[in-house]
């Protein structure tokens, strides 16, 4: 039986080695070598120049994940409490934008926010002055929330919909009001969904580059933009690989910290 299990796992292991282990090894190699192929730590030293960009990327991603949580939690709760047929319809509405290309969704947002875009033209037609909505950090955050919000709603919904309603009824019988029911029962049991949703939003947000390029200005460049420029503009593969490696380590550390708060989902009514 064990030999059969190993045999069935072989395609996955081969896939993992080819598309995960080998690319990661290539990144590590370039990160710790120079143009001459010799070992060096100078590539990591050059990253200190871009520390403010690292912090900006982390802060923008964290704000985006928090906003997604504020919007996604009540949305997921409402969907989870809806009848089964309506749930399927609402889930379809949430997932429908994901069927469109990520690039097209971002370009559609650009068409709405730009100086001669839909919103400003509407304001102008109403006799109001045009406002600057693009090329600023708030536009980048809006773009990330718009693109990654479904990744927050889906894990939250999967946890909330499986929640045992008898626990809520029991807490109400014990005298808990609406706030205590939420804080003592619903919220602790939904922590795994919150952690999963925050992770699924934060990880792609902190490494994004297309959203910041289209919606942000020169002052809102993210670390993904710098990495892209190292490969496509500066042609400095070694520094780009070092920055990619450091970003990956930061993401793994953040994920590890968030997983520490997952807990075991126990309910305490005292």
Tell me the helix, strand and coil percentages in the chain, rounded to 5.
Answer: 80, 0, 20
- Consecutive H or E run containing 259: helix 237-260
Q: Which of 74, 76, 148 is nearest to 106 (CA)?
A: 148
Torsion of CA 217, 223, 225, 230, to 10 degrees: 140
Max Cα-Cα span within the chain: 75
What residue has token string 């520490």? 260
Q: How confident is the model at residue 263 (pLDDT cuts 50, 70, 90)?
A: low
Q: Which of 24, 40, 23 is nearest to 32 (CA)?
A: 40
Q: Which of 58, 4, 88, 28 is nearest to 202 (CA)?
A: 58
Query: How far apart are the C-alpha atoms of 142 and 214, rounded to whole Å?
Result: 12
Least confident of 1-5, 7-11, 183-187, 200-204: 1-5
Q: How confident is the model at residue 270 (pLDDT cuts 50, 70, 90)?
A: very low
Reduced to 3 states, what is the DSSP secondary structure of residue 13?
helix
Three-point CA angle 177, 179, 184, nearest 5°: 95
Q: Extract the tokens encoding 108.
A: 């559609």
Q: Extract the tokens encoding 255.
A: 């994920």
What residue has token string 């997921």? 76
The pLDDT tens digits of the residues spanning 233-260 come to: 888 889 999 999 998 888 888 778 777 7
The pLDDT tens digits of the residues spanning 62-83 come to: 999 999 999 999 999 999 989 9
Tell me if the pTM is above 0.85.
yes
């Amino acid at each position: 039986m064990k030999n059969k299990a190993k045999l069935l796992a072989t395609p996955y292991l081969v896939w993992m080695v080819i598309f995960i282990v080998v690319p990661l090894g290539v990144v590590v190699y370039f990160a710790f070598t120079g143009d001459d192929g010799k070992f060096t730590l100078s590539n990591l030293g050059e990253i200190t120049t871009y520390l403010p960009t690292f912090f900006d990327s982390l802060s923008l991603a964290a704000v985006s994940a928090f906003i997604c949580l504020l919007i996604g939690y009540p949305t997921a709760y409402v969907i989870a409490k809806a009848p089964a047929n309506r749930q399927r319809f609402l889930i379809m509405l949430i997932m429908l934008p994901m069927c469109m290309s990520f690039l097209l969704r971002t370009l559609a947002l650009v068409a709405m926010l730009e100086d001669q875009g839909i919103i400003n033209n509407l304001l102008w037609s109403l006799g109001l002055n045009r406002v600057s909505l693009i090329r600023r950090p708030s536009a980048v955050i809006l773009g990330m929330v718009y693109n990654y919000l479904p990744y927050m709603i889906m894990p939250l919904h999967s946890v909330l919909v499986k929640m045992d309603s008898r626990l809520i009824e029991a807490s109400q019988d014990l005298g808990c009001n609406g706030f205590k029911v939420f804080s003592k029962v619903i919220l602790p049991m939904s922590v795994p969904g919150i952690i999963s949703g925050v992770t699924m939003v934060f990880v792609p947000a902190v490494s994004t580059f297309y959203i910041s390029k289209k919606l942000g200005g020169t002052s809102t460049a993210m670390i993904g933009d710098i990495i892209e420029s190292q490969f496509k503009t500066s042609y400095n593969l070694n520094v780009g690989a070092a920055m990619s490696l450091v970003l990956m380590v930061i993401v793994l550390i953040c994920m590890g910290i968030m997983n520490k708060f997952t807990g075991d989902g126990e309910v305490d009514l005292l």
